[in-house]
Structure 1
Amino acid sequence: MSAITKGGSFVIESASWEQIKTPEDFSEEQLMIADAAEHFIENEVLPRDSELEKLDYKLTVELLRKAGELGLLGVDVPERYGGLGLDKVSSTLISEKLAKGSSFALSVGAHVGIGTLPIVFFGTHEQKQAYLPDLADGTKIAAYCLTEPSSGSDALGAKTTATLSEDRTYYVLNGAKQFITNAGFADLFIVYAKIDGKHFSAFIVERTMEGVSIGPEEKKMGIKGSSTCPLILDQVKVPVSRLLGEPGKGHVIAFNILNIGRFKLGAGCVGAAKEAIALSSAYANGRTQFGKPISSFPLIGEKLANMNIVTYVLESMIYRTSGLIDAILQNIDHGSDQAGVQSAKGIAEYALECSIVKVFGTEALDFAADEGVQIHGGYGFIQEYKIERIYRDSRINRIFEGTNEINRLLIPGTLLKKAMKGELPLMEHAGSVQEKMLEPATREEEGEAAFAAERRLLATAKQIFLLIGGQAVQTYGLGLEEEQEVLARLSDMMIRIYAMESALLRVEKLTHTSGEERSRMAAAMTTVYVHEAFAQIDLDAREAVAAMASGDLLALQLSVLRKWTRHTPPDTIRLKRYIAERVKSAERYVVW
């Protein structure tokens, strides 16, 4: 991908399969690092799973250091600071493979992602030299401290303070942070505090600093093997050299690191969903009722098919997004003084896509976990079966890294901000769509090229979004941000459009590079998803229109939607039976 794709441009532009990254593009080196991560989980972590689940600090740290020795903690750290400095696709693959490690995967993720990346992207050369080598090999473990007892999604409402000393050599930090992953054994903390109670800033705080203390472990519903404690700061003297970034610019660090955290969370959801499919398909094949395996019952097969479809779509979205992030960050010199500014700008470009994969991924995993429990029946409710833990562990993901509700508001909000800054010609396209309202609908023709129907539905979905989004701006103006229900429907439309397009581009690429036979499974999953997602977009659009219009305008808008959404549906029951047979036969996630 030579040209940089604008974040959010997918709603107004058509992408080509040549532009995107897919799992079929993995290099030999990327596959090797993925194998190393998988081998580590299978041979080092899973044999000690029951001990980890009892919250064994010593064992967790021991395994983190082993992961560091293998290079699994240093993928995102530049080589000059002791890491591997690999691409985001490799980093994403590791996140996916580690997901099978359950709570341990969370400990790793908090360390390598939100714990280490603030220093990678925003640290000074001296800070990077001081901390990154130890973070890359696991000698030191990091934690990220943003949430407070009185502020979660409202991060800027933090009450932790930082006061500069009279001799201007250190800051005095006071306050408390809540729900801090890895807090029980972390060596350093990325802490956000307000200088003089006003200027939101980031600091590197070491555990050994006087006044730093850790509260008791939280008793959680899931992810029980990960440490989650409060961090208490009482007159903690932090040298000015440990201020991360500029004073008052902590929000730049916090929000951009959260963007990466959201993306990595989606990657972990891919791995967990794949495990749910493997567990559920194997169980369904082995469980006999009424004289035959329950996998032979069509409704069980349909569940396996739906789990596989949503995982395929998520996987397509994740690696497409990783390719976008790689392309925009690849030329940054992390040793330069401008690295933080450049990184922030690059990450912010795809903030919208990161929120999309976070919402879609966490809800896709919840769906797969829930269906997995249902396939297991009563045994799915028993702790002896891992699907029970996947179900419990998955629930936190919709809260992590900004709740899905907050992210749903951020998605259209970010798009509108890009439009207002002149970065995307959004309203021009919306105006053009409104002019097409009275034009006759395009008719389907027999004998069309492969995926023509899906391409047409995708184009129509974008048209519908622009129509409804444009009307929302006209109707509410600056008050749109208060219309959260309408924003949520616009957000869901955008999420489904990105999902539809990612799945479609992937199967088109697979067809062009590997042939129709190898892409048959992906084609079936894409067809099912695109048509089902389109139906949901139609429903979201109708609900939004009904909230914004009445009388003749409502009648006109609904008639336009009826005209645009008219199409011949495929036989999704037959397609899902085919997909289910492939999953049952393989007893794992299947793409071809």
Structure 2
Amino acid sequence: MSAETVNKDILRGGQFLVKETKCEDVFTPEDFSEEQRMMRDSAKEFVDRELWAHWERFESKDYAYTEACMKKAGELGLLGVAVPEAYDGLGMGFVSTMLVCDYISGATGSFSTAFGAHTGIGTMPISLYGNEEQKKKYVSKLATGEWMGAYCLTEPGAGSDANSGKTKAVLSDDGKHYLISGQKMWISNAGFCNVMIVFARIEDDKNITGFIVENDPSNGISMADEEKKLGIHSSSTRQVFFSNTKVPVENMLSERGNGFKIAMNALNVGRIKLAAACLDAQRRVIGEATKYANERIQFKTPIMNFGAIKSKIAEMATNTYADESASYRAAKNIEDRIAIRQAEGNSHQEAELKGVEEYAIECSILKVAVSEDVQSCTDEGVQIFGGMGFSADTPMESAWRDARISRIYEGTNEINRMLAVGMLVKKAMKGHVDLLGPAMKVADELTGIPSFDTPDYSVLFSEEKEILAKLKKVFLMVAGSAVQKFGPQLEEHQQLLMAASDILIEIYMAESAILRTEKNAKRFGEEAQETQIAMSQLYLYNAVDIAIKKGKEAIVSFAEGDEQRMMLMGLKRFTKYANQPNVVALRTKIADKIAQENGYFLG
């Protein structure tokens, strides 16, 4: 463990809400090491050469080309970044695995899905839960791309409720095999996978069990035709049927009944990796939209000169900047937590599992925020292209369709919104995050006399940080009152949870952008960060608007009379700027920089 990790004040998952984070303690994309920058450039080169240059092939359902590109990625070592060197991987840290997932996913959702399904849920469960014999037998082949992996969890009647699957595993009379029978659906990479992680129930066990199953059609495995999908056209997606498929008992993954735990932990990693997979897609869409807007002449001027276009470009870039900032902040927190656990004597497997689990709240936040931003970005990309954006002859149309699945993958955004708040409350109950103390202070503040002192806002982000602190009070006010009122029944109030979650999400994303910019302004100078400062201020302005809307929605849903009036007054007080930013000027500054660079200029 490095001295840097020891000296940093590493917050536990969810503590960002109640503890101040110093800008020096966050990791930013500007902190990439030389090795990481080389990895990034290698991934970008592969994408430009093999994927972006042939995006039409992915739209024509060329599954064979997707498989061929996956094999090439394996030869370059891109499939084994997270796999320990003992199993023919590169054994790199969590930030590096995020980085590769980010930059290799920019060109097409079809390849991004194949890559994520293989490296994440196809390989990771064996790498983290498999015994030594299983890892030696399977992980090396998956890391090098010799074999392709898939993950069979979802069933027709078991989607979000993953533990309700009906697929059965029956022990054979001689005790040497399990016979698996059942149906799985929406299985990515099904058409060309060699091995699958399959979840089934043994007898009447409460929880499902995981199995490693080799794809052998002669062993009772059959598949439906390729699914007809809105997007990700060249991602092989099929239903898989098992009929008394014989699986050696030694291919049980982990312990009997541990499948649900495996599935949930795989989702935690999958959520933050999905956020990473949506980043370069946004950068590339911004790049294409900017080039088009700079070249498209209407009324004798490039449309990039129009304020309406500048507004779109600025918002697209601002969201991307915040998404990058939050994704790499969380990734480094996870990497540091893994290092700390390993230093304490945990195995690689246990350290990684617990390290990611610690930041499950942040993983859900990122999954929701970035997947919705990439959808918005591609939608605006289509709009900037106008009629051409609606044409399948330009990549905007396919980018928009491919982005849509990201709000469904890895648990729907609705599920993740409720999970984020639910997990935070559970952490508070366990004493891992002190929500009660800060929430009580906010309640006392509501009945107190507000300060009329004039603060000094001469230091960069001094007012923005004060507003962030007040947004945290909004969440604590709403969530604290809701927990007090509903207790264990809070999870039944889904619309309230989702409103509170939107406030929580915006706090984390806005804070991440501000801390990144503050850190870089201190080392590179404020002038060098002029556009980033504008993006941070614009993102916070939008976050405040969301907090006002969602805070009001939440408060009136459960508070009445004097309590409601007091909370609404508190909401107004906690979302008030002393110096209202000129958002039109901010957007113009951001868009002009993007136009000058002819695309997103970071990363």
Category of TM-score, reference length = shorter chain: over 0.9
Matches within 5 A, 1:127-526: 127-198=134-205, 199-208=207-216, 210-330=219-339, 339-442=348-451, 443-526=453-536
Matched pairs, number: 591
2:357 aligned partner, one-letter code: A
1:555 aligns with 2:565: yes
1:108 aligned partner, one-letter code: F
Question: Of the candidates 103, 122, 127, which is equivalent to residue 120 of structure 1?
Answer: 127
**1:132-173 alpha-carbon deviations (Å, 9 max, x no partner):** 111111000001111111111110111111122233222111
Please say if residues 106 and 279 of structure 2, whose CA atoms lie closer than 8 Å, have aligned partners that are also in contact.
no
* Cα distance in 2 between the residues matched to 1:558 and 1:333: 47
Match of 1:12 in 2: 18
Residues 575, 329 of structure 1: alpha-carbon distance in 2 compared, 3 angstrom cutoff: same
* Cα distance in 1 between the residues matched to 2:531 and 2:346: 48
Please say if residues 10 and 25 of structure 2, whose CA atoms lie closer than 8 Å, have aligned partners that are also in contact.
no
Percent sequence identity over aligned pairs:
41
2:60 aligned partner, one-letter code: K
2:485 aligned partner, one-letter code: T
* Cα distance in 2 between the residues matched to 1:200 and 1:444: 60
Matches within 5 A, 1:506-585: 506-567=516-577, 568-585=579-596
RMSD (Å), alpha carbons = 1.7
Residues 340, 93 of structure 1: alpha-carbon distance in 2 compared, 3 angstrom cutoff: closer
**1:310-335 alpha-carbon deviations (Å, 9 max, x no partner):** 0000010110011011112236679x
Note the C-alpha offset of 1:95.
Answer: 1.4
* Cα distance in 1 between the residues matched to 2:243 and 2:348: 33
Please say if residues 252 and 344 of structure 1, whose CA atoms lie closer than 8 Å, have aligned partners that are also in contact.
no
Residues 289, 81 of structure 1: alpha-carbon distance in 2 compared, 3 angstrom cutoff: same
Residues 447, 7 of structure 1: alpha-carbon distance in 2 compared, 3 angstrom cutoff: closer
Residues 332, 447 of structure 1: alpha-carbon distance in 2 compared, 3 angstrom cutoff: closer
* Cα distance in 2 between the residues matched to 1:380 and 1:371: 9
Deviates further, 308-317 or 191-200: 191-200
* Cα distance in 2 between the residues matched to 1:237 and 1:337: 35
**1:474-510 alpha-carbon deviations (Å, 9 max, x no partner):** 1111211110011001110110010011011101100
Note the C-alpha offset of 1:591.
Answer: 4.6
**1:288-317 alpha-carbon deviations (Å, 9 max, x no partner):** 111111111111111100100000000101
SS of equivalent to 1:476: helix
SS of equivalent to 2:196: strand
* Cα distance in 1 between the residues matched to 2:49 and 2:584: 40
Note the C-alpha offset of 1:60.
Answer: 2.4
**1:450-491 alpha-carbon deviations (Å, 9 max, x no partner):** 101100010001111111111001111121111001100111
1:162 aligned partner, one-letter code: A
* Cα distance in 1 between the residues matched to 2:586 and 2:60: 43
* Cα distance in 2 between the residues matched to 1:447 and 1:408: 34
Note the C-alpha offset of 1:514.
Answer: 0.8
2:84 aligned partner, one-letter code: P
* Cα distance in 2 between the residues matched to 1:564 and 1:111: 45
Please say if residues 141 and 186 of structure 1, whose CA atoms lie closer than 8 Å, have aligned partners that are also in contact.
yes
Note the C-alpha offset of 1:445.
Answer: 3.1
Structure 2: runs of 5+ lacking an equivalent: none
**1:329-384 alpha-carbon deviations (Å, 9 max, x no partner):** 236679x9955444332221111111110000000001111111111111110011
Note the C-alpha offset of 1:51.
Answer: 2.7
1:300 aligned partner, one-letter code: I
Residues 459, 333 of structure 1: alpha-carbon distance in 2 compared, 3 angstrom cutoff: closer
Structure 1: runs of 5+ lacking an equivalent: none
1:313 aligned partner, one-letter code: A
Note the C-alpha offset of 1:558.
Answer: 1.5
Match of 2:73 in 1: 67
TM-score under structure 1 length normalisation: 0.97
* Cα distance in 2 between the residues matched to 1:447 and 1:495: 26
* Cα distance in 1 between the residues matched to 2:204 and 2:62: 37
1:82 aligned partner, one-letter code: D
* Cα distance in 2 between the residues matched to 1:517 and 1:338: 46
SS of equivalent to 2:212: strand
* Cα distance in 2 between the residues matched to 1:281 and 1:531: 24
1:261 aligned partner, one-letter code: G
* Cα distance in 1 between the residues matched to 2:592 and 2:106: 24
Residues 389, 294 of structure 1: alpha-carbon distance in 2 compared, 3 angstrom cutoff: same
1:82 aligns with 2:82: no
SS of equivalent to 2:292: helix
Note the C-alpha offset of 1:48.
Answer: 3.4
1:587 aligns with 2:598: yes
* Cα distance in 2 between the residues matched to 1:447 and 1:498: 22
Note the C-alpha offset of 1:535.
Answer: 2.2
SS of equivalent to 1:100: coil
Please say if residues 162 and 197 of structure 1, whose CA atoms lie closer than 8 Å, have aligned partners that are also in contact.
no
Question: Of the candidates 99, 102, 113, which is equivalent to residue 105 of structure 2?
Answer: 99
Residues 489, 564 of structure 1: alpha-carbon distance in 2 compared, 3 angstrom cutoff: same
1:309 aligned partner, one-letter code: T
* Cα distance in 1 between the residues matched to 2:213 and 2:253: 10
2:134 aligned partner, one-letter code: Q
Note the C-alpha offset of 1:517.
Answer: 1.1
Deviates further, 43-52 or 122-131: 43-52
TM-score under structure 2 length normalisation: 0.95
Please say if residues 125 and 266 of structure 2, whose CA atoms lie closer than 8 Å, have aligned partners that are also in contact.
yes
